[in-house]
């Protein structure tokens, strides 16, 4: 019993001792512990490029594309038949021929003979007319004589008949002879008078015959002139279907129905530019006046002839040319496009320094047409304006998304007409899903950066 009580006391004493040792060890270890260092947090900055916007009057430029063509292209077909006897030495595709030079010549012998024949017919008709006119004058004079002769014969007949009836002087045979003479004089007078009355009609017929002969002569001379075909303007040869000795005719060159020549007039070039009808309605300037058009015609007669810039799409950074907006060609309801024509004078179709290619037929070009002016607008890079029409701005140094109104876009810029105020700072760096209210490190255009920090990784130049 005493032994059990003693073992219990020993166990309790051991437990107490272990507890005391534990607290003592904890106190000793706690005396060696140091408090952790205080952690400091810094907000990561988003470095972006930005600009301070100010409103301005922004001119709108409507851009379209089209192919250059010559305004005038002439297809030449022989107007008379014959064999080719001469061809211009420069009658080759791509060469130039001055105005008035002979392109080709058809054998003129047959047509020269026809001219001579027609000249002879005209001479005969003129002689016949002259003869009739002279004969008419002569017969009119003769008619006066015959009239006097008739009157004398009548008087003689009446005198003899009176003497015979009243005085029994003379013979009946003498009276009869006098009557016959009177009748003969009367018949001669009537015949000549009838001829004189017909002379105006015969002269008119002769004049008609002369006019017909002259018309035939004129036709023969025209056909003769058509045997020589000349250049109607300073021409560039586009196609040739002729050879010396070839038989040609009004139906075409060597092949029936095909043209003998095709010439292009490069003094005036033209580009047909299709535009979106909504853009054209909104931005083209239709407040001009075309003096050659009637004001009450339901067409685009009041298009302002503004100066346009033309660039070859194969060399957009090279030489550009100036053209003039000339007219509206057509409206296409199926595609909702309005096609305008831009003309370029030949003198302006060459590069000024002579180092570049000229503007020529077949080039596919971009055309910049000046349009309306947008008042109090903000011109921003396209990278700064999202397709949802919003921009990122710096408000109190932090990123904010601001909805805006975009009137139009060009190749590089967007024109903002609503949502911004003068002096707003707009981020021009392209950002992809940035966190709203992010603190910004701004690099302003023309200004010193406000702070240093890492450039946004999702920013695109």
pLDDT of residue 455: 30
Q: Is 222 helix (H, G, I), strand (E, B) or coil?
A: helix
**Each residue of 143-183: pLDDT tens digit?**
888 888 888 888 877 787 887 777 777 777 877 787 788 88
**Each residue of 90-99: pLDDT tens digit?**
999 999 999 9
Contact 61, 411 (CB under 8 A): no
Query: Measured at the alpha carbon of residue 43, what is the angle toward residues 39 and 47, in degrees to the nearest 5?
Result: 145
Pick the closest to residue 145 from 95, 94, 185 (CA basis): 185
Between residues 387 and 288, which one has the greater pLDDT? Answer: 387
Q: Tell me where in the chain the CATH 2.40.420.20 domain(s) lie.
A: 49-57+375-444
CATH superfamily of 266-373: Efflux pump adaptor protein, beta barrel domain (2.40.30.170)
pLDDT of residue 3: 60
Q: Which residues of 54-66 are buried (b: 16+ CB within 10 A; e: fewer)?
A: ebeebebbbbbeb
The pLDDT mean for the chain works out to: 84
Tokens linked to 204:
């008119």
Between residues 186 and 43, which one has the greater pLDDT? Answer: 186
Query: Is the confidence at residue 15, as pLDDT, over 80?
Result: no
Mean pLDDT (whole number) for 112-127: 94
Q: Tell me where in the chain the CATH 2.40.30.170 domain(s) lie.
A: 266-373
Give the CA-trace dihedral at 248, 251, 256, 261, to 10 degrees. Answer: 70
Domain 78-107+227-259 has CATH 3.30.43.10: no
Mean pLDDT (whole number) for 375-391: 90
Architecture of domain 110-225: Orthogonal Bundle (1.10)
Q: Tell me where in the chain the CATH 1.10.287 domain(s) lie.
A: 110-225
| Residue 213: other Cβ atoms inside 10 A | 20
Domain 49-57+375-444 has CATH 2.40.420.20: yes
Q: Cα-flanking dihedrals φ and ψ of residue 368, to 5°?
A: -105, 115
Mean pLDDT (whole number) for 3-13: 69
| Residue 44: other Cβ atoms inside 10 A | 9
Q: Tell me where in the chain the CATH 2.40.50.100 domain(s) lie.
A: 78-107+227-259
pLDDT of residue 295: 57
pLDDT of residue 86: 94
């Amino acid at each position: 019993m005493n032994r059990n009580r003693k073992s219990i006391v020993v166990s309790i004493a051991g437990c107490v001792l272990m507890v005391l040792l534990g607290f003592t060890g904890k106190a000793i270890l706690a005396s060696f512990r140091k408090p952790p260092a205080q952690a400091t947090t810094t907000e990561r900055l988003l470095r972006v490029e930005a600009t301070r916007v100010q409103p301005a009057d922004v001119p709108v430029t409507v851009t379209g594309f089209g192919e250059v063509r010559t305004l005038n292209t002439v297809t030449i077909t022989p107007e008379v038949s014959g064999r080719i006897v001469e061809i211009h030495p420069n009658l080759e595709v791509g060469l130039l021929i001055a105005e008035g030079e002979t392109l080709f010549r058809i054998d003129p012998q047959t047509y020269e003979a026809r001219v001579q024949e027609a000249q002879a017919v005209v001479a005969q008709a003129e002689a016949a007319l002259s003869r009739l006119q002279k004969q008419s004058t002569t017969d009119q004079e003769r008619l006066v004589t015959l009239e006097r002769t008739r009157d004398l014969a009548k008087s003689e007949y009446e005198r003899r008949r009176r003497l015979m009836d009243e005085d029994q002087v003379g013979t009946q045979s003498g009276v009869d002879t006098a009557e016959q003479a009177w009748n003969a004089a009367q018949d001669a007078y009537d015949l000549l008078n009838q001829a004189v009355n017909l002379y105006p009609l015969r002269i008119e017929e002769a004049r008609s015959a002369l006019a017909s002969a002259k018309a035939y002569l004129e036709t023969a001379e025209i056909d003769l002139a058509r045997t020589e075909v000349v250049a109607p303007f300073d021409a560039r040869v586009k196609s040739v279907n002729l050879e010396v000795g070839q038989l040609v005719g009004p139906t075409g060159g060597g092949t029936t129905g095909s043209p003998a020549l095709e010439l292009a007039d490069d003094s005036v070039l033209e580009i047909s530019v299709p535009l979106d009808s909504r853009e054209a309605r909104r931005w083209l300037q239709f407040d001009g006046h075309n003096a050659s058009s009637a004001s009450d015609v339901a067409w685009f007669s009041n298009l302002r002839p503004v100066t346009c810039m033309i660039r070859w799409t194969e060399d957009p950074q090279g030489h550009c040319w100036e053209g003039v907006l000339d007219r509206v060609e057509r409206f296409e309801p199926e595609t909702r496009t309005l096609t305008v024509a831009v003309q370029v004078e030949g003198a302006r179709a060459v590069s000024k320094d002579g180092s570049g290619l000229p503007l020529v037929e077949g080039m596919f070009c971009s055309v910049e047409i000046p349009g309306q002016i947008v008042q109090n607008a903000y011109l921003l890079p396209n990278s700064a304006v999202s397709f949802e029409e919003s921009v990122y701005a710096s408000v109190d140094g932090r990123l904010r998304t601001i909805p805006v109104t975009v009137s139009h876009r060009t190749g590089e810029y967007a024109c903002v007409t609503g949502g911004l105020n003068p002096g707003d700072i707009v981020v021009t760096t392209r950002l992809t899903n940035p966190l709203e209210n992010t603190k910004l490190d701004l690099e302003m255009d023309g200004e010193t950066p406000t702070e240093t920090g890492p450039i946004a990784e999702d920013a695109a130049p």
